[in-house]
A and B are shown apart, each in its own frame.
Chain A
Amino acid sequence: MTDAAFPHRHLLGIQGLHPPDIQHLLDLADGHVDQCRGADKASDAMAGRTVINLFFENSTRTRTSFELAAKRQGAEVINMQVSTSSVAKGETLIDTAVTLNAMHPDVLVVRHPESGAAKLLAEKVNCAVVNGGDGGHEHPTQALLDALTIRRRKGRLDGLRVAICGDVLHSRVARSNIHLLTTMGTQVRLIGPRTLVPRSFEAMGVEVFTNMREGLTDCDIVMMLRLQTERMRGNFIPSVREYFRFYGLDRDKLSRARPDALIMHPGPMNRGVEIDSDVADDFERSVIREQVEMGVAVRMAVLRLLAGNLDHTRRNQPFAGAGGV
């Protein structure tokens, strides 16, 4: 049966989700936090299910998080790390998808360096697809775990002021967070140089600041992004040294935010590039480790929901990958 509170077959992005969808996911995930903190973490909610982690990009933390989330609910997990060094990345994607589909997995978690790859893959399979990050497009479970972290700490999402700082242009995390937070009534500010935060973001219902001190003023949450030098072609910033001077989070800039402002980072951090170690390791303010914990809970909720939704759709579906490859 499709869960009426989450009537979706895949989780390809936050865009398109409504506030009740998001509430429901966060409520479920909240329950899993307690489960994971207890001595007996295991359940059999997903017994007999197969989850495949299909990763076309290197990732340890996201893959591990999905793997744990599936295993704690009794699912079988296969990890596939596909090399992206081959020229025809996309061809590999579709070929791999069609092959895996024939093995009847229940959920495919996919990470890929190109925007739109999860959507393309979802068209070729008849299992549920979770987007584990596609290029510069979306990373929905990251936004959900960020939201859960905020909600547990601040008790709500609406009415808060969140600053997302740094390399927004190349960040799927930023896009998913913008969609989620604006959907839930949170004020969102983007902070960075125009090369990394183009004006076109203003159409997404956010405020854009080029001056970090101004942008951080009275914020409840400071979300730092990793500078993604591997995705940059050309000159986006003159140097890391200069970037840190103007957009690195240090005590001085942080002092402009609210005194109880929390610091978040999706990891992995570049200390001394976008964040000062001193701030990153501040127990009072930094919730970076908590984010990792929430990640497992959120992914447990997502996997269970989608696997549950699958039953009644899949039987009637023809083999989706058969034609038009």
Chain B
Amino acid sequence: MALDVPGRVAYANARLLDPATGLDAMGGLLTEGEHIVHLAPGLFADGTPVGARVVDCGGACLAPGLVDIRTQLREPGQEHKESFKSAGRAAAAGGVTSMVGLPNTNPVIDDEAAVEFVARRARLIGLAKVFTYAAATKGLEGRELAEIGLLHQAGAVAFTDGVKAIADAQVMRRLLAYAASHDLLVIQHPQEPSLATGVMNSGETATRLGLGGIPREAEIIMLERDMRLVAMTGGRYHAAHISTEDSVEIIRKAKAAGLPVTCDTAPFYFALNELEVGDYRTFAKLSPPLRSESDRQAIVDGLADGTIDVIASDHCPQDQDTKRLPFNLAEFGGIGLETLLPVTLRLVHEGRLPLLKALDRITRAPADLLGLEAGRLRTGAPADLVIFDPEAPWKVVGDTMRSKSKNSPFDGHLVQGKVIRTVVDGRTVFPEGAG
């Protein structure tokens, strides 16, 4: 199916925000076809070009579309929970123009055909752009290395075992060393599985509820081990969704020592704490688990000082059958594509991060980490844009979310920051039918 190539569109009267250059000024942006062809402060102040369609932004923010580097799209294999299409709609509504899926699908993305399947299927849908990771080890089993060189050539952007840690130290060592020889990135779910047999953060709340705990040390120990292996091999390493104060400190030290290390966190871990579990709310059952309030504050500090490079939604759709269960039996995970922007903006509203810095964590930084052509307002770049009102308040209601699964840990929460329009390759994908 060929998509219509859009003509010239003039986005006028916008507050242009580009974290990469520090641009924050009223102005305009012109796209032609799939690309940005011009942008400047004050542009279109004297009128818009003849023949261009005009989108009056009404003073709202215009920023690069969001780049979400940790999502589970459930296709192929679990389309009853999510699909490229439903996730694409959720992404578009959330201002996300590029998203990267984990390889824990069925079948697992550990061969070139699977990588190509994702690329082909997702391209046909034409909503947010879909990229994929591939498995770091065959079948995500943590034993033998997957063909990461070939998988990279087929289009996989980095390598991870998804929601499973690469637990065996020798496997991780070889993986990092081999990845270093091809300059590939390894992404770890940092959690020592033998310590992580519980279902929520260890501590007072778990004790009171009679639930098994996952100690903070499960994450801390794995990160400490991995830092040693990175120092030993020189492999590029990225820690996903860090959740504890000590984790921030470990990454801070590793960066200071010059190790090729980066990390991200998810909105859950800087906006919520373990009290969210309340009376066995399974929507708050996440991996890693929601931690203590002091951990949450340390994550905010890590974002503010740049130790944490990226915010990713950690979008993990689970249906009723896997969440309407006693807490112990429910699956881990929460959806996040539609709440990534407003919950990130909470950091701005609370005065913890300036707007451009907060946007950097969800646009330029993740795009650069994976080498994606995205995350910037630049002449010649793909016209992937989000127009939003950073102040507009709304209430998150799980049942009205576009994702096929409704398991939002923010269900019922009040947030600020509303997407007005999302543009992918010059075409408006949100609101639906806006052309």
Residues of A within 8 A of B (CB): 15, 89-91, 93-94, 112, 114-117, 119-120, 134-138, 172, 175, 198, 200-201, 203-204, 233-234, 324-325
Contacts and interface: CB of A to CB of B under 8 A. Distances in A.
28 contacts: A15-B208, A89-B329, A90-B330, A91-B321, A93-B325, A114-B327, A114-B328, A115-B280, A115-B326, A115-B327, A115-B328, A116-B326, A116-B328, A120-B280, A120-B325, A135-B210, A135-B326, A137-B209, A137-B210, A172-B210, A198-B207, A200-B202, A200-B207, A201-B207, A203-B204, A233-B197, A234-B197, A325-B324
A136 B207 CA distance: 9
Nearest to A136: B210
A325 B320 contact: yes
Contact of A116 (B197, B202, B203, B327): B327
Nearest to B326: A114
B207 A115 contact: no
Interface in B25-51: none
Contacts of A114: 326-329
Among B210, B279, B325, residue most surrounded by chain A Cβ atoms (within 10 Å): B210
A112 B206 CA distance: 18
Interface of B: 197, 202-204, 206-211, 213, 279-280, 320-321, 324-330
A205 B204 CA distance: 11
Given A89-B326, A115-B327, A120-B280, A138 B210 contact: yes
B204 A200 contact: yes
Nearest to B206: A200
Contacts of A137: 209-211
Contacts of B204: 200, 203-204
Nearest to B321: A91
Nearest to A178: B208
Interface centre among B197, B213, B327 (most CB of A within 10 A): B327
B329 A175 contact: no
A115 B209 contact: yes
Nearest to A87: B329
A116 B206 contact: no
Nearest to A203: B204
A112 B326 contact: yes
A117 B326 contact: yes
Q: Top 5 nearest A-B pairs by Cβ distance?
A: A90-B325, A136-B210, A116-B280, A114-B326, A137-B210
B206 A93 contact: no
A136 B330 contact: no
A175 B210 contact: yes
Nearest to A56: B326
A204 B207 contact: yes
A191 to B, nearest CB: 16
Contacts of A89: 326, 329
Contact of B324 (A94, A115, A200): A94
Contacts of B202: 200
A115 B328 CA distance: 7
Contacts of A94: 324-325
A325 B323 CA distance: 10
User: Which residue of B204, B211, B329 has the most chain A CB atoms within 10 A of its CB atom?
Assistant: B329
A11 to B, nearest CB: 15
Contacts of A119: 279-280
A120 B202 CA distance: 22
B206 to A, nearest CB: 7
B111 to A, nearest CB: 30
Contacts of A90: 324-326, 329-330
A165 B197 CA distance: 25
A174 B161 CA distance: 40
Nearest to B199: A115
Q: Which of B207, B208, B210, B326 has the most CB of A within 10 A?
A: B326
B279 to A, nearest CB: 6
Nearest to A169: B207
Nearest to B329: A90
Given A90-B330, A94-B324, A137-B210, 5 more contacts: A90-B326, A120-B326, A135-B210, A204-B207, A233-B197
Contacts of A93: 325-326
A116 B209 contact: yes
Nearest to B323: A90
Contacts of A134: 210
Nearest to A89: B329
B197 to A, nearest CB: 6
Nearest to A124: B324
A15 B329 CA distance: 23
> Quick one: which of A112, A115, A203, A234 has the most chain B CB within 10 A?
A115
Contacts of A324: 320, 324
Contacts of B207: 198, 200-201, 203-204
A119 B211 CA distance: 14
Nearest to B194: A234
Contacts of A15: 208
A120 B326 CA distance: 7
Nearest to A202: B204
Contacts of B279: 116, 119
Contacts of A325: 320, 324
B217 to A, nearest CB: 13
